[in-house]
Amino acid sequence: MKKVVIAVTKPYLGHVDPEDKEFGVGMLDKFLHTLEKMPNIPYAICFYTEGVKLVCDGSPLLTGFQILHERGVKLVVCQSCLEYYHLREQLEAGEIGGMNDILSLMMEADNVIFA
């Protein structure tokens, strides 16, 4: 089976105009729920820049990521980004890692998907 890593860099899916961010959040929610049901799940999901907000307290998508983690998906969250956004104490899912950890996962992967 191929080793797939998903990179999450923002709190919505794709590139959307500022007035369409709610739509982008809804699409990311749909993406997660579809992924939850698939027989093949990614090896890891890496969160950096604004993406770290999705695995912290108050995220509307936190449950989806927790479900994937329970299914065995490794969640790696950028330490520097958590600190930049003052969210380290609010992390609810995943493990804190450095950019070295994130890049190592990406380099080991057969495929990297940028969500």
pLDDT digits (tens, 9 = 90+) for 27-84: 999 999 999 899 999 999 999 999 999 999 999 999 999 999 999 999 999 999 999 9
pLDDT digits (tens, 9 = 90+) for 24-41: 999 999 999 999 899 999
Residue 74: closest CA among 102, 43, 49: 43
Q: Which pTM was predicted?
A: 0.94
| Whole-angstrom distance, CA of residue 85 vs CA of residue 55 | 13
Q: Could you tell me the CATH number of the domain that includes residue 10?
A: 3.40.1260.10
Cα 108 to the center of its chain, rounded Å: 18
List the domain range (segments joined by +) for residue 105: 4-114
Q: Which DSSP helix (H) or strand (E) runs through 22?
A: helix 21-37
| Whole-angstrom distance, CA of residue 80 vs CA of residue 9 | 13
Specify the pLDDT at position 32. Answer: 92
Report the domain count for the chain.
1
pLDDT digits (tens, 9 = 90+) for 88-104: 999 999 999 999 999 99
Phi and psi (nearest 5°) for 75?
-110, 120
Specify the pLDDT at position 1. Answer: 80
Mean pLDDT of the chain: 95
95-112 in b/e form (b: 16+ CB < 10 A) is ebbeeebbeebeeebeeb
Specify the pLDDT at position 109. Answer: 98
Residues sharing a CB contact under 8 Å with residue 51, sequence separation 6 or more, in sequence order: 7, 8, 9, 10, 11, 81
